A and B are shown apart, each in its own frame.
Chain A
Amino acid sequence: MLRHLMTVLMLVFLTLPAAVRSQEAEALPIDRSATGGAQTLEDILRRQNGEPVDDRFRREAIGGDAVSAPGLGPLGGASDPELWRALRYNEAEVTTSTRGDLGKVLVQDGGMRWYEFRRGPLVTYGGWLLLGTIAALVVFFLLRGRVRIEGEKTGRTVTRFQAFERFSHWLVAGSFVLLGLTGLVTLMGRMFIAPYLGLEANATLLTISKLIHNNVAWAFMLGLILVFVLWVWHNIPNRLDLVWISQAGGIIGKKHPPAKKFNAGQKLVFWSVIILGASLSVSGLSLLFPFEMPLFAKTFGILNDMGAPGWFGMDPLPASLAPQEEMQLAQLWHAIVAFVMMAIILGHIYIGTLGMEGAFDAMGSGEVDEAWAHQHHSIWLEEVKAEEKSPASDATPAE
């Protein structure tokens, strides 16, 4: 299930570059006879205009060997342009004193695409997603107002979450807020903070943000495991969820559908946090230990083997990536997933505080009024009351 969801998400996010690649393949041929097969003015102009250019005439012109090869190969000579092209397209045999494949990549033009995407669509769409979510919540609040407890409070309370459940929730919540804020500073600081506070102040903020982000991540991962173990059983979808969804959870309108410990809306938040949080954790670990945990080439290979790109009419995804490209994709994926999760969590924070009377008590003190429990989790309340009435299972019967 998780793998399929990841496949779909990944394909959606990868449609754009793949579309660009297929356009490249469709680039109109250029007559290069006048330059002896070398680059022409038309090639340069097309590239400058951002039009698709089929660069195989350069990418593949990197010399040859004594057996197969044209050019100077058989004579034992080497051509400088061929060498530079080989370096340019990462095809040259490079020996370095550094360890691993990392240092062998001397020119990595994927970095430019990453840089452009990071400061362009990522910041633009990510930023608008968050601002749009906040605006939608403000409009919703103005139209719907606070979801009140109907009738009088009973004054009797029931324990909604035990201390350890609340601790686990706040471990995830507190760390996520810190990670979200420091992540936004890291991504957007140069554009939105540096122009106002100066480069020095931005650099200091970045350093602090990186320190917090790298280390608080562990608390988030631990909390994520805890809430998963504590609540997964209560979050398995059931038939009641359909009733809840059909009545929009009572948020719109006045009905209050019955629910167990978690209603369908809370289950959606739970599974979003678990799935997106797990994806964030994995891509985060890949970023935390640079070049040690490459994720994408292997994933793309699996997707290609499944034929997944073909379902969408796409070319196979690149199954061989430079170490730097792995890091660039991990960063973009990490940020995209984080933006989606932040938008969902903004909604969660709204309904847990301002949007619903009595909701915060569940995670604050852990005690909720019975009227609130009856209104929002009627079946769960009945179950708790029945449990209270029945004798404890470990009690010794009277002789």
Chain B
Amino acid sequence: MKSMLIAFVAIAVIGVGAHYALQEVGFSAQEVSSGPSVRLD
């Protein structure tokens, strides 16, 4: 059962890591496909 628990922890770690990594690489569709003259917020 230890392998299962470690895998579940790994899912959480990868998920949190992906969240911050995607922010860093400009993942937001708003940033990618909009321009400065478009107000979305």
In the complex, are the beta carbons of B10 and A171 less than 8 A apart?
Answer: yes
CB neighbours of B34 from chain A (8 A): 98
> Cα distance A171–B9 when bound, in Å?
9
> Cα distance A98–B2 when bound, in Å?
51
In the complex, are the beta carbons of B19 and A163 less than 8 A apart?
Answer: no
Tell me the smallest distance from the CB of A352 to a CB of chain B, in Å.
12
Complex interface: stretch among A2-10, A236-244, A358-366: A358-366
A223 to B, closest residue via Cβ? B7
Other-chain contact of A170, B8, B14, B15, B18 (Cβ < 8 Å): B8
Given the known inter-chain contacts A216-B15, A218-B14, A219-B14, please indicate yes or no for A170 contacting B3, CB distance below 8 A.
yes
Other-chain contact of B3, A99, A166, A217, A223 (Cβ < 8 Å): A166
Bitwise interface map of A from 89 to 107 toward B, beta carbon under 8 Å scored 1, else 0? 0000000011110110000
In the complex, are the beta carbons of A291 and B33 less than 8 A apart?
Answer: yes
> Cα distance A288–B32 when bound, in Å?
12
In the complex, are the beta carbons of A97 and B38 less than 8 A apart?
Answer: yes
CB neighbours of A223 from chain B (8 A): 7
Looking at chain A's contact residues, the main secondary structure is helix
Given the known inter-chain contacts A97-B38, A216-B15, A290-B29, please indicate yes or no for A365 contacting B8, CB distance below 8 A.
no
CB neighbours of A171 from chain B (8 A): 7, 10-11
Interface residues of B in 1-41 (CB under 8 A from A): 1-4, 6-8, 10-11, 14-16, 18-19, 22, 27, 29, 32-35, 37-38
Tell me the smallest distance from the CB of A172 to a CB of chain B, in Å.
9
Complex interface: stretch among A148-156, A207-215, A256-264, A338-346: A207-215
Given the known inter-chain contacts A170-B4, A363-B4, please indicate yes or no for A97 contacting B35, CB distance below 8 A.
yes
> Cα distance A217–B11 when bound, in Å?
9
* A-B interface pairs (CB < 8 A), number: 78
> Cα distance A219–B37 when bound, in Å?
37
In the complex, are the beta carbons of A167 and B7 less than 8 A apart?
Answer: yes
Other-chain contact of A167, B10, B22, B27, B35 (Cβ < 8 Å): B10
With an 8 A cutoff between CB atoms, is A175 at the interface? Answer: yes
In the complex, are the beta carbons of A102 and B10 less than 8 A apart?
Answer: no
> Cα distance A169–B32 when bound, in Å?
35
In the complex, are the beta carbons of A292 and B32 less than 8 A apart?
Answer: yes
Given the known inter-chain contacts A167-B6, A214-B22, please indicate yes or no for A219 contacting B29, CB distance below 8 A.
no
**Which B residues are within 8 Å of any A CB, using their own CB?**
1-4, 6-8, 10-11, 14-16, 18-19, 22, 27, 29, 32-35, 37-38
**Which A residues are within 8 Å of any B CB, using their own CB?**
97-100, 102-103, 163-164, 166-171, 173-175, 178, 211-212, 214-219, 222-223, 288-292, 363-366
A-B pairs with beta carbons under 8 Å apart, 16 shown: A97-B35, A97-B37, A97-B38, A98-B33, A100-B33, A166-B7, A167-B3, A167-B7, A167-B10, A170-B4, A170-B8, A171-B11, A174-B7, A212-B15, A216-B11, A219-B10
